[in-house]
């Protein structure tokens, strides 16, 4: 009986190891493939930014857009609060419709690339394009799928924990209108017209989640709670 139990334990152990190796196995990133992906990311970035600046600044004036992009965060926010829209609601809706399709296409393609090659950081690709750009524009219907893929990349040490946490917090704020989980990004406070530490639900829960992915605990003054 002991022999049977031992044999079963060995079989399960071998299967688990094999399955684990299968899960982390990725395609080789050759120099030719790297060059191909860099070119593809550049095209994706161009598409990503195609209408976004028009929508956010509510103008087609490229000179104005270029000048606003050179402002500080506080100056940029102040401009957006006071600038009167030069676009009609119909124009903005049309731009969003086009951009939403682009975002979904980019997200699906990024998912495929990460699935096949693992998380490819800006440094690993030797590229001026940071893949985080596309993550921040993940359509709501694909967030859970993308997060499930990325947490495995964190566990495999292919993606930096801070980048994963930043993505999760960004999606919680933009898509779900929730407070941040990891407390990674400062927020704008309209009452004081300034950038302040992020809102989180509970510091104990936040620090537990940060510890799970290898991030240090938040300290007093690095976060806010609504209670």
Question: pLDDT band at residue 195, thresholds of 50, 70 and 90?
Answer: confident
How close are the terminal C-alpha atoms of the chain, in Å?
Answer: 59
Question: pLDDT band at residue 7, thresholds of 50, 70 and 90?
Answer: low
DSSP 64-99: HHHHHTTS-HHHHHHHHHHPPP-S-HHHHHHHHHHH
Q: What is the pTM of this model?
A: 0.80
Cα 100–73–143 angle (5° rounding)?
30
Q: Point out which residues pair with 196 in neighbouring strands.
A: 187
> Residue 24 in 3-state DSSP?
helix
Which is more confidently placed, 169 or 26? 169
Distance in angstroms (rounded) separating the CA atoms of residues 201 and 24? 33
| pLDDT score at 21 | 42
Mean pLDDT of the chain: 89
79 neighbors 71 (Cβ within 8 angstroms): yes
Burial 175-187 (b: 16+ CB within 10 A, else e): eeeebbbbbbeee
| pLDDT score at 11 | 46
Closest CA to 48 of 98, 95, 94, 99: 99
Pick the range with the lowest mean pLDDT from 6-10, 102-106, 178-182. Answer: 6-10
Torsion of CA 14, 20, 24, 26, to 10 degrees: 40
Mean pLDDT computed over 176-205: 92
Token pair recorded at residue 200? 């989180």
Mean pLDDT computed over 175-187: 95
Place of tokens 């096949």: 116
Question: pLDDT band at residue 47, thresholds of 50, 70 and 90?
Answer: very high
Question: pLDDT band at residue 192, thresholds of 50, 70 and 90?
Answer: confident
Which is more confidently placed, 18 or 102? 102
Q: What is the pLDDT of residues 98-147, one digit of tens each?
A: 999 999 999 999 999 999 999 998 888 888 899 999 999 999 999 999 99
Q: Which 3-state string (H, E, C) describes 131-163?
A: CHHHHCCCCHHHHHHHHHHHHHHHHCCCCCHHH
Q: What is the pLDDT of residues 57-91, one digit of tens each?
A: 999 999 999 999 899 888 888 888 889 999 999 99
Most confident of 19-23, 188-192, 193-197: 193-197
Q: Point out which residues pair with 188 in neighbouring strands.
A: 195
Percent helix, strand, coil in the chain, to 5, is: 60, 5, 35
132 neighbors 163 (Cβ within 8 angstroms): yes
Is residue 217 scored above 90 in pLDDT?
Answer: yes
Torsion of CA 65, 66, 70, 72, to 10 degrees: 0
| pLDDT score at 4 | 54
| pLDDT score at 227 | 63
């Amino acid at each position: 009986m002991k022999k049977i139990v031992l044999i079963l334990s060995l079989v399960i152990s071998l299967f688990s190891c094999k399955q684990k190796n299968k899960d982390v196995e990725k395609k080789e990133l050759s120099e030719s493939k790297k060059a191909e992906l860099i070119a593809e990311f550049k095209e994706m970035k161009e598409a990503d930014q195609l209408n976004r600046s028009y929508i956010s600044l509510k103008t087609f004036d490229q000179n104005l857009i270029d000048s606003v992009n050179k402002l500080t965060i506080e100056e940029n926010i102040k401009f957006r609060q006071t600038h009167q829209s030069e676009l009609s609601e119909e124009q903005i809706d049309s731009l969003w419709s086009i951009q939403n399709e682009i975002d979904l296409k980019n997200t699906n393609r990024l998912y495929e690339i990460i699935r096949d090659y693992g998380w490819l950081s800006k440094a690993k690709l030797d590229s001026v394009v940071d893949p985080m750009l596309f993550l921040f524009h993940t359509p709501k219907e694909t967030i859970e799928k993308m997060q499930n893929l990325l947490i495995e990349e964190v566990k495999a040490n292919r993606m930096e924990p801070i980048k994963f946490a930043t993505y999760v917090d960004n999606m919680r704020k933009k898509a779900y209108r929730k407070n941040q989980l990891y407390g990674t990004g400062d927020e704008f406070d309209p009452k004081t017209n300034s950038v302040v530490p992020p809102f989180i639900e509970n510091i104990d829960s936040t620090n537990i989640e940060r510890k799970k992915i290898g991030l240090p605990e938040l300290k007093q003054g690095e976060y806010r709670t609504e209670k």
